[in-house]
Structure 1
Amino acid sequence: MRLVTRAQWGARAYRTPNGATPYSRPRRGVKLHYLGTAYSDRPHDQCAAYVRQLQAQHMDGNGWSDVGYSFLICTHGYVYEGRGLSRRNSANGNTSLNEQDYAVCLLVGSSGLTKPTDAQLDGARDAIDYCRTKGAAGTWLGGHRDGYATTCPGDAIYAWAKQGAPRPKTTTPEKGPDMTDEQLFKAVWKRDAIPAPSTSKTAKTNPTWKAESFLPETYDQTNRILDALREMAKDIAILRAEVAKLKMGA
Protein backbone atom coordinates (compact mmCIF):
# COMPACT_ATOMS: atom_id res chain seq x y z
CA MET A 1 0.00 0.00 0.00
CA ARG A 2 1.31 3.43 -0.93
CA LEU A 3 0.36 5.20 2.29
CA VAL A 4 0.81 8.97 2.58
CA THR A 5 0.83 9.92 6.25
CA ARG A 6 -0.64 13.13 7.63
CA ALA A 7 2.84 14.54 8.12
CA GLN A 8 3.74 13.72 4.51
CA TRP A 9 0.72 15.47 2.99
CA GLY A 10 1.00 18.43 5.36
CA ALA A 11 -2.15 18.01 7.43
CA ARG A 12 -3.20 20.67 9.89
CA ALA A 13 -3.45 19.63 13.52
CA TYR A 14 -6.95 18.41 14.34
CA ARG A 15 -9.01 20.23 16.94
CA THR A 16 -9.40 18.69 20.35
CA PRO A 17 -11.25 17.21 22.07
CA ASN A 18 -13.62 16.16 19.25
CA GLY A 19 -10.89 15.45 16.75
CA ALA A 20 -9.30 13.01 19.15
CA THR A 21 -12.47 10.97 19.82
CA PRO A 22 -11.58 7.27 19.57
CA TYR A 23 -13.90 4.53 18.35
CA SER A 24 -15.64 2.92 21.29
CA ARG A 25 -16.21 -0.45 19.63
CA PRO A 26 -14.97 -2.48 16.65
CA ARG A 27 -16.12 -1.28 13.23
CA ARG A 28 -18.65 -3.32 11.30
CA GLY A 29 -16.73 -2.62 8.08
CA VAL A 30 -15.93 0.09 5.54
CA LYS A 31 -18.14 2.63 3.78
CA LEU A 32 -16.94 4.09 0.49
CA HIS A 33 -17.44 7.74 -0.47
CA TYR A 34 -16.88 10.14 -3.35
CA LEU A 35 -16.63 13.92 -3.31
CA GLY A 36 -20.17 14.68 -4.48
CA THR A 37 -18.95 17.78 -6.33
CA ALA A 38 -17.14 18.38 -9.60
CA TYR A 39 -13.64 16.96 -9.70
CA SER A 40 -10.98 16.96 -12.39
CA ASP A 41 -7.92 14.77 -12.43
CA ARG A 42 -4.52 16.32 -11.80
CA PRO A 43 -0.84 15.37 -11.76
CA HIS A 44 0.09 13.42 -8.66
CA ASP A 45 2.29 16.22 -7.31
CA GLN A 46 -0.90 18.29 -6.88
CA CYS A 47 -2.91 15.66 -4.98
CA ALA A 48 -1.56 16.51 -1.53
CA ALA A 49 -2.55 20.15 -2.04
CA TYR A 50 -6.08 19.04 -2.89
CA VAL A 51 -6.30 16.92 0.27
CA ARG A 52 -5.16 19.95 2.28
CA GLN A 53 -7.84 22.01 0.54
CA LEU A 54 -10.45 19.41 1.43
CA GLN A 55 -9.32 19.39 5.05
CA ALA A 56 -9.61 23.20 5.18
CA GLN A 57 -13.12 22.99 3.70
CA HIS A 58 -14.20 20.47 6.33
CA MET A 59 -12.64 22.37 9.23
CA ASP A 60 -13.32 25.96 8.23
CA GLY A 61 -16.46 25.51 6.12
CA ASN A 62 -18.22 22.61 7.85
CA GLY A 63 -16.85 23.40 11.30
CA TRP A 64 -15.55 19.85 11.75
CA SER A 65 -12.53 19.05 13.88
CA ASP A 66 -10.59 17.51 10.98
CA VAL A 67 -10.97 16.14 7.46
CA GLY A 68 -14.00 13.88 7.66
CA TYR A 69 -12.68 10.65 6.16
CA SER A 70 -10.58 7.87 7.59
CA PHE A 71 -8.59 7.60 4.35
CA LEU A 72 -8.65 9.24 0.90
CA ILE A 73 -7.52 7.65 -2.38
CA CYS A 74 -6.19 9.73 -5.27
CA THR A 75 -6.50 8.63 -8.90
CA HIS A 76 -2.86 7.51 -8.85
CA GLY A 77 -3.58 4.89 -6.19
CA TYR A 78 -2.01 6.60 -3.16
CA VAL A 79 -3.77 6.22 0.19
CA TYR A 80 -3.85 9.48 2.18
CA GLU A 81 -4.25 9.12 5.92
CA GLY A 82 -7.22 11.15 7.16
CA ARG A 83 -8.44 10.37 10.65
CA GLY A 84 -6.80 6.99 10.33
CA LEU A 85 -7.58 3.78 12.13
CA SER A 86 -8.18 5.00 15.68
CA ARG A 87 -10.03 8.35 15.52
CA ARG A 88 -13.75 8.36 14.74
CA ASN A 89 -14.62 9.75 11.31
CA SER A 90 -17.35 12.34 10.67
CA ALA A 91 -18.32 11.49 7.08
CA ASN A 92 -20.95 8.75 7.38
CA GLY A 93 -23.89 10.96 8.37
CA ASN A 94 -24.26 10.92 12.16
CA THR A 95 -22.42 9.79 15.25
CA SER A 96 -23.91 6.30 15.21
CA LEU A 97 -23.02 5.74 11.54
CA ASN A 98 -19.56 7.25 12.02
CA GLU A 99 -18.98 4.86 14.92
CA GLN A 100 -20.18 1.90 12.87
CA ASP A 101 -17.83 1.95 9.84
CA TYR A 102 -14.61 3.45 8.56
CA ALA A 103 -15.03 6.10 5.84
CA VAL A 104 -12.83 5.73 2.73
CA CYS A 105 -13.17 8.42 0.05
CA LEU A 106 -12.11 7.96 -3.56
CA LEU A 107 -11.23 11.32 -5.13
CA VAL A 108 -13.78 11.32 -7.95
CA GLY A 109 -16.76 13.62 -8.31
CA SER A 110 -20.42 13.70 -9.20
CA SER A 111 -19.35 15.49 -12.40
CA GLY A 112 -16.09 15.89 -14.27
CA LEU A 113 -14.13 12.78 -13.35
CA THR A 114 -16.87 10.39 -12.18
CA LYS A 115 -15.31 6.96 -12.62
CA PRO A 116 -12.33 5.76 -10.57
CA THR A 117 -9.13 4.73 -12.30
CA ASP A 118 -7.76 1.20 -12.00
CA ALA A 119 -4.92 2.51 -9.86
CA GLN A 120 -7.47 4.19 -7.60
CA LEU A 121 -9.51 1.02 -7.21
CA ASP A 122 -6.31 -0.82 -6.38
CA GLY A 123 -5.47 1.79 -3.74
CA ALA A 124 -8.99 1.64 -2.33
CA ARG A 125 -8.69 -2.12 -2.07
CA ASP A 126 -5.43 -1.60 -0.17
CA ALA A 127 -7.21 0.78 2.22
CA ILE A 128 -10.05 -1.68 2.80
CA ASP A 129 -7.59 -4.47 3.59
CA TYR A 130 -5.63 -2.11 5.84
CA CYS A 131 -8.77 -1.25 7.81
CA ARG A 132 -9.46 -4.95 8.23
CA THR A 133 -5.97 -6.16 9.11
CA LYS A 134 -4.58 -3.20 11.05
CA GLY A 135 -7.81 -1.65 12.27
CA ALA A 136 -10.88 -3.26 13.76
CA ALA A 137 -13.07 -3.47 10.66
CA GLY A 138 -15.26 -6.45 9.94
CA THR A 139 -15.97 -7.78 6.46
CA TRP A 140 -19.04 -5.62 5.71
CA LEU A 141 -18.51 -3.33 2.73
CA GLY A 142 -20.85 -0.76 1.24
CA GLY A 143 -21.39 2.87 0.40
CA HIS A 144 -22.36 6.06 2.15
CA ARG A 145 -25.90 5.61 0.77
CA ASP A 146 -26.33 2.47 2.89
CA GLY A 147 -28.25 3.75 5.89
CA TYR A 148 -28.14 7.41 4.84
CA ALA A 149 -30.12 9.33 2.21
CA THR A 150 -27.46 10.27 -0.35
CA THR A 151 -26.27 9.33 -3.82
CA CYS A 152 -22.71 8.93 -2.49
CA PRO A 153 -20.45 7.19 -3.51
CA GLY A 154 -21.89 7.33 -7.03
CA ASP A 155 -23.12 4.42 -9.07
CA ALA A 156 -19.72 3.26 -10.35
CA ILE A 157 -18.07 2.99 -6.93
CA TYR A 158 -21.20 1.59 -5.30
CA ALA A 159 -21.49 -1.17 -7.90
CA TRP A 160 -17.81 -2.00 -7.35
CA ALA A 161 -18.37 -2.18 -3.58
CA LYS A 162 -21.33 -4.51 -4.02
CA GLN A 163 -19.14 -6.78 -6.16
CA GLY A 164 -16.81 -7.11 -3.17
CA ALA A 165 -14.31 -4.47 -4.38
CA PRO A 166 -12.28 -6.77 -6.64
CA ARG A 167 -8.86 -5.65 -7.74
CA PRO A 168 -8.75 -4.47 -11.36
CA LYS A 169 -7.69 -7.05 -13.86
CA THR A 170 -4.23 -6.32 -15.17
CA THR A 171 -3.50 -6.82 -18.84
CA THR A 172 -0.59 -9.14 -19.41
CA PRO A 173 1.78 -7.66 -22.00
CA GLU A 174 2.04 -9.65 -25.17
CA LYS A 175 5.18 -11.69 -25.26
CA GLY A 176 7.38 -11.17 -28.27
CA PRO A 177 9.03 -14.03 -30.16
CA ASP A 178 11.83 -15.77 -28.31
CA MET A 179 15.21 -14.75 -29.71
CA THR A 180 18.69 -16.00 -29.12
CA ASP A 181 21.37 -13.51 -28.11
CA GLU A 182 22.83 -13.67 -31.63
CA GLN A 183 19.43 -13.00 -33.23
CA LEU A 184 18.81 -10.09 -30.86
CA PHE A 185 22.25 -8.66 -31.67
CA LYS A 186 21.59 -8.84 -35.40
CA ALA A 187 18.09 -7.42 -35.07
CA VAL A 188 19.12 -4.44 -32.96
CA TRP A 189 22.82 -3.72 -33.21
CA LYS A 190 23.24 -4.58 -36.87
CA ARG A 191 20.13 -2.80 -38.10
CA ASP A 192 20.72 0.11 -40.51
CA ALA A 193 18.33 2.64 -38.99
CA ILE A 194 20.38 5.26 -37.19
CA PRO A 195 21.50 8.58 -38.74
CA ALA A 196 25.25 8.87 -38.83
CA PRO A 197 26.77 11.68 -36.72
CA SER A 198 27.29 14.83 -38.78
CA THR A 199 30.88 15.07 -37.53
CA SER A 200 31.80 11.75 -39.10
CA LYS A 201 33.91 11.84 -42.24
CA THR A 202 31.70 9.17 -43.82
CA ALA A 203 28.36 10.84 -42.98
CA LYS A 204 27.86 12.10 -46.54
CA THR A 205 28.72 8.83 -48.23
CA ASN A 206 27.13 6.63 -45.56
CA PRO A 207 24.31 8.67 -43.92
CA THR A 208 22.77 5.69 -42.11
CA TRP A 209 24.77 3.66 -39.65
CA LYS A 210 24.27 0.40 -37.85
CA ALA A 211 24.03 0.82 -34.10
CA GLU A 212 27.26 -1.12 -33.65
CA SER A 213 29.08 1.43 -35.84
CA PHE A 214 28.75 3.98 -33.06
CA LEU A 215 30.93 1.93 -30.74
CA PRO A 216 34.26 2.50 -32.56
CA GLU A 217 33.24 6.11 -33.30
CA THR A 218 32.58 6.67 -29.57
CA TYR A 219 35.86 4.96 -28.70
CA ASP A 220 37.81 7.21 -31.09
CA GLN A 221 36.11 10.37 -29.80
CA THR A 222 36.81 9.38 -26.21
CA ASN A 223 40.49 8.88 -27.00
CA ARG A 224 40.66 12.28 -28.72
CA ILE A 225 39.09 13.93 -25.67
CA LEU A 226 41.54 12.18 -23.35
CA ASP A 227 44.50 13.29 -25.50
CA ALA A 228 43.23 16.86 -25.39
CA LEU A 229 42.87 16.71 -21.61
CA ARG A 230 46.41 15.41 -21.26
CA GLU A 231 47.75 18.29 -23.35
CA MET A 232 45.68 20.72 -21.30
CA ALA A 233 47.12 19.28 -18.09
CA LYS A 234 50.65 19.83 -19.44
CA ASP A 235 49.83 23.45 -20.32
CA ILE A 236 48.37 24.03 -16.85
CA ALA A 237 51.51 22.61 -15.25
CA ILE A 238 53.68 24.97 -17.31
CA LEU A 239 51.49 27.96 -16.38
CA ARG A 240 51.69 27.07 -12.71
CA ALA A 241 55.47 26.89 -12.90
CA GLU A 242 55.60 30.31 -14.57
CA VAL A 243 53.30 31.80 -11.96
CA ALA A 244 55.52 30.38 -9.21
CA LYS A 245 58.58 32.01 -10.80
CA LEU A 246 56.81 35.37 -11.00
CA LYS A 247 55.85 35.16 -7.34
CA MET A 248 59.44 34.43 -6.35
CA GLY A 249 60.65 37.39 -8.42
CA ALA A 250 58.14 39.67 -6.76
Structure 2
Amino acid sequence: MAYKFLLSILFVALASHIAESCPNIITRAQWGARPANTAALVTNPPTHVVIHHSATAGCTTQAACMNLVRSFQNFHMDTNGWADIGYNFLIGGDGQIYEGRGWGRTGAHAPSFNNRSIGVCLIGTWTSALPPAAAINAAHALINCGVATNRIRSDYALMGHRQAVATACPGNALFNAIQSWPRFSNNP
Protein backbone atom coordinates (compact mmCIF):
# COMPACT_ATOMS: atom_id res chain seq x y z
CA MET A 1 0.00 0.00 0.00
CA ALA A 2 2.79 2.42 0.88
CA TYR A 3 4.42 1.62 -2.48
CA LYS A 4 1.30 2.69 -4.41
CA PHE A 5 1.07 5.85 -2.31
CA LEU A 6 4.68 6.77 -3.11
CA LEU A 7 4.11 6.08 -6.81
CA SER A 8 1.07 8.34 -6.82
CA ILE A 9 3.08 11.14 -5.16
CA LEU A 10 5.87 10.73 -7.73
CA PHE A 11 3.35 10.75 -10.59
CA VAL A 12 1.75 13.98 -9.33
CA ALA A 13 5.18 15.60 -8.91
CA LEU A 14 6.25 14.53 -12.40
CA ALA A 15 2.99 15.75 -13.97
CA SER A 16 3.39 19.09 -12.17
CA HIS A 17 7.00 19.43 -13.39
CA ILE A 18 6.00 18.67 -16.99
CA ALA A 19 3.12 21.16 -16.84
CA GLU A 20 5.47 23.83 -15.47
CA SER A 21 7.92 23.22 -18.33
CA CYS A 22 5.28 23.78 -21.00
CA PRO A 23 4.77 27.27 -22.38
CA ASN A 24 1.50 29.15 -22.19
CA ILE A 25 -0.65 28.62 -25.28
CA ILE A 26 -3.28 31.18 -26.29
CA THR A 27 -6.33 28.99 -26.85
CA ARG A 28 -8.71 29.08 -29.79
CA ALA A 29 -11.36 30.60 -27.54
CA GLN A 30 -8.96 33.33 -26.42
CA TRP A 31 -8.05 34.43 -29.97
CA GLY A 32 -11.64 34.11 -31.22
CA ALA A 33 -11.43 31.06 -33.49
CA ARG A 34 -14.39 30.02 -35.58
CA PRO A 35 -15.80 26.54 -34.90
CA ALA A 36 -14.13 23.81 -36.91
CA ASN A 37 -14.38 20.08 -37.44
CA THR A 38 -10.98 18.49 -37.99
CA ALA A 39 -9.87 14.87 -37.91
CA ALA A 40 -7.57 13.27 -35.38
CA LEU A 41 -4.02 12.49 -36.46
CA VAL A 42 -3.59 9.06 -38.02
CA THR A 43 -0.15 8.75 -36.43
CA ASN A 44 -0.38 10.00 -32.87
CA PRO A 45 1.93 11.05 -31.38
CA PRO A 46 3.19 12.51 -34.65
CA THR A 47 6.56 11.59 -36.13
CA HIS A 48 7.32 14.98 -37.74
CA VAL A 49 7.37 18.67 -36.86
CA VAL A 50 7.02 20.92 -39.92
CA ILE A 51 8.17 24.54 -39.64
CA HIS A 52 6.42 27.25 -41.69
CA HIS A 53 6.31 30.99 -42.07
CA SER A 54 3.11 32.86 -42.87
CA ALA A 55 4.73 34.93 -45.67
CA THR A 56 2.89 37.98 -44.31
CA ALA A 57 3.71 40.88 -42.08
CA GLY A 58 4.79 39.86 -38.60
CA CYS A 59 3.25 40.90 -35.30
CA THR A 60 4.73 41.99 -31.99
CA THR A 61 1.68 42.40 -29.74
CA GLN A 62 -0.89 39.87 -28.66
CA ALA A 63 -3.73 41.94 -30.16
CA ALA A 64 -1.99 42.21 -33.54
CA CYS A 65 -1.07 38.53 -33.55
CA MET A 66 -4.61 37.46 -32.67
CA ASN A 67 -5.93 39.59 -35.56
CA LEU A 68 -3.51 37.91 -37.95
CA VAL A 69 -4.36 34.41 -36.70
CA ARG A 70 -8.08 35.14 -37.23
CA SER A 71 -7.33 36.41 -40.75
CA PHE A 72 -5.34 33.24 -41.54
CA GLN A 73 -8.24 31.10 -40.35
CA ASN A 74 -10.70 33.11 -42.45
CA PHE A 75 -8.49 32.78 -45.54
CA HIS A 76 -7.91 29.05 -45.03
CA MET A 77 -11.61 28.34 -44.49
CA ASP A 78 -13.26 30.83 -46.84
CA THR A 79 -10.77 30.94 -49.74
CA ASN A 80 -9.04 27.56 -49.54
CA GLY A 81 -12.17 25.71 -48.39
CA TRP A 82 -10.37 23.95 -45.54
CA ALA A 83 -12.05 22.74 -42.36
CA ASP A 84 -10.00 25.12 -40.22
CA ILE A 85 -6.75 27.07 -40.06
CA GLY A 86 -4.08 24.88 -41.59
CA TYR A 87 -1.47 24.94 -38.81
CA ASN A 88 -1.50 23.21 -35.46
CA PHE A 89 0.21 26.16 -33.77
CA LEU A 90 1.30 29.68 -34.71
CA ILE A 91 3.95 31.77 -32.99
CA GLY A 92 4.05 35.55 -33.03
CA GLY A 93 6.94 37.93 -32.74
CA ASP A 94 5.59 38.58 -29.25
CA GLY A 95 6.81 35.08 -28.30
CA GLN A 96 3.26 33.89 -27.69
CA ILE A 97 2.02 30.56 -29.03
CA TYR A 98 -1.45 30.52 -30.58
CA GLU A 99 -3.40 27.29 -30.80
CA GLY A 100 -4.38 26.50 -34.38
CA ARG A 101 -5.78 23.01 -34.80
CA GLY A 102 -3.92 22.05 -31.66
CA TRP A 103 -2.40 18.79 -30.46
CA GLY A 104 -3.52 15.52 -31.99
CA ARG A 105 -5.35 17.05 -34.98
CA THR A 106 -4.57 16.55 -38.67
CA GLY A 107 -3.41 19.81 -40.23
CA ALA A 108 -3.60 21.22 -43.75
CA HIS A 109 -0.05 22.51 -43.99
CA ALA A 110 2.27 19.94 -45.63
CA PRO A 111 0.88 17.47 -48.17
CA SER A 112 1.81 13.85 -47.42
CA PHE A 113 2.84 14.83 -43.87
CA ASN A 114 -0.44 16.30 -42.57
CA ASN A 115 -1.72 13.15 -40.87
CA ARG A 116 1.58 12.42 -39.10
CA SER A 117 2.94 15.83 -38.19
CA ILE A 118 2.49 19.01 -36.19
CA GLY A 119 2.65 22.20 -38.27
CA VAL A 120 4.22 25.19 -36.51
CA CYS A 121 4.00 28.57 -38.27
CA LEU A 122 6.22 31.45 -37.23
CA ILE A 123 4.19 34.51 -38.19
CA GLY A 124 6.04 36.77 -40.62
CA THR A 125 8.18 36.52 -43.74
CA TRP A 126 11.55 34.94 -42.96
CA THR A 127 13.35 35.01 -46.30
CA SER A 128 16.18 37.39 -45.40
CA ALA A 129 15.77 37.90 -41.64
CA LEU A 130 15.16 35.58 -38.72
CA PRO A 131 12.09 35.70 -36.49
CA PRO A 132 12.58 37.47 -33.16
CA ALA A 133 14.44 35.42 -30.54
CA ALA A 134 11.24 35.24 -28.47
CA ALA A 135 9.48 33.42 -31.34
CA ILE A 136 12.34 30.99 -31.87
CA ASN A 137 12.53 30.28 -28.14
CA ALA A 138 8.77 29.69 -28.07
CA ALA A 139 9.06 27.20 -30.95
CA HIS A 140 11.71 25.24 -29.05
CA ALA A 141 9.62 25.34 -25.87
CA LEU A 142 6.52 24.12 -27.73
CA ILE A 143 8.39 21.21 -29.32
CA ASN A 144 10.03 20.28 -26.00
CA CYS A 145 6.63 20.39 -24.28
CA GLY A 146 5.14 18.18 -27.00
CA VAL A 147 7.86 15.60 -26.48
CA ALA A 148 7.63 15.78 -22.66
CA THR A 149 3.87 15.24 -22.72
CA ASN A 150 3.96 12.53 -25.44
CA ARG A 151 2.19 14.75 -27.96
CA ILE A 152 5.23 14.52 -30.27
CA ARG A 153 7.36 11.38 -30.55
CA SER A 154 10.72 11.70 -28.88
CA ASP A 155 12.41 10.55 -32.11
CA TYR A 156 10.52 13.05 -34.29
CA ALA A 157 12.03 14.49 -37.46
CA LEU A 158 12.12 18.28 -37.82
CA MET A 159 11.70 19.69 -41.31
CA GLY A 160 10.86 22.82 -43.25
CA HIS A 161 7.68 23.04 -45.33
CA ARG A 162 9.76 23.18 -48.54
CA GLN A 163 10.87 19.61 -47.88
CA ALA A 164 7.27 18.43 -48.33
CA VAL A 165 6.26 20.47 -51.37
CA ALA A 166 7.84 22.94 -53.82
CA THR A 167 7.61 26.24 -51.93
CA ALA A 168 9.86 28.94 -50.50
CA CYS A 169 8.37 28.33 -47.05
CA PRO A 170 9.63 28.74 -44.33
CA GLY A 171 11.84 31.35 -46.01
CA ASN A 172 15.57 31.00 -46.63
CA ALA A 173 16.72 32.60 -43.38
CA LEU A 174 14.45 30.47 -41.20
CA PHE A 175 15.13 27.30 -43.20
CA ASN A 176 18.88 27.82 -42.82
CA ALA A 177 18.42 28.34 -39.08
CA ILE A 178 16.28 25.26 -38.44
CA GLN A 179 18.97 23.08 -39.96
CA SER A 180 20.87 23.58 -36.69
CA TRP A 181 17.86 22.79 -34.49
CA PRO A 182 17.66 19.44 -32.70
CA ARG A 183 16.34 16.56 -34.78
CA PHE A 184 16.46 18.41 -38.15
CA SER A 185 16.27 15.84 -40.95
CA ASN A 186 17.67 16.33 -44.44
CA ASN A 187 15.52 13.41 -45.64
CA PRO A 188 12.28 13.39 -43.69
TM-score bucket (shorter structure): 0.7 to 0.9
Q: Distance in 2 between matches of 1:42 and 1:128?
A: 21
Q: Distance in 1 between matches of 2:120 and 2:61?
A: 21
Q: Which has the larger radius of gyration?
A: 1
Q: Distance in 2 between matches of 1:40 and 1:147?
A: 24
Partner of 1:33: 52
Q: Give me the CA root mean square deviation.
A: 2.0
> Are the counterparts in 2 of residues 108 and 114 from structure 1 also a CA contact under 8 Å?
no
- Return 5+ residue gaps in structure 1 as ranges: 167-250
> Are the counterparts in 1 of residues 53 and 123 from structure 2 also a CA contact under 8 Å?
yes
TM-score normalised by structure 1 residue count: 0.59
Q: Distance in 2 between matches of 1:4 and 1:40?
A: 17
- Report how many aligned residue pairs link the two structures: 158
- Are 2:158 and 1:141 equivalent residues in the alignment? yes
Partner of 1:152: 169
One-letter amino acid of the counterpart of residue 100, structure 1? R
Q: Identity of aligned pairs, percent?
A: 33
Q: Distance in 1 between matches of 2:107 and 2:81?
A: 14
Q: Distance in 1 between matches of 2:165 and 2:159?
A: 12
Displacement of 1:146 after TM fit? Answer: 1.2
Residue of structure 2 aligned with 1:58, choices 68, 72, 76: 76
110 and 62 in structure 1: CA distance in 2 versus 1, 3 angstrom threshold: farther
- Are 2:106 and 1:88 equivalent residues in the alignment? yes
Residue of structure 2 aligned with 1:119, choices 134, 152, 162: 134
TM-score normalised by structure 2 residue count: 0.77
- Are 2:33 and 1:11 equivalent residues in the alignment? yes
> Which runs of at least 4 in structure 1 moved beyond 6 Å after TM superposition?
none
> Are the counterparts in 1 of residues 59 and 94 from structure 2 also a CA contact under 8 Å?
no
Which structure has more relative contact order (CA 8 Å, sep 6+)? It is 2
Q: What pairs up with 1:66-215 in 2 under 5 angstroms? A: 66-92=84-110, 94=111, 96-109=112-125, 114-134=129-149, 135-137=151-153, 138-164=155-181
Deviations along 1:39-80, one digit per CA (max 9) or x if unpaired, are 143433221111111111110011000000010000011010
- Return 5+ residue gaps in structure 2 as ranges: 1-22, 184-188
One-letter amino acid of the counterpart of residue 30, structure 2? Q
Question: What is the SS of the residue equivalent to 1:127?
Answer: helix
Displacement of 1:157 after TM fit? Answer: 1.4
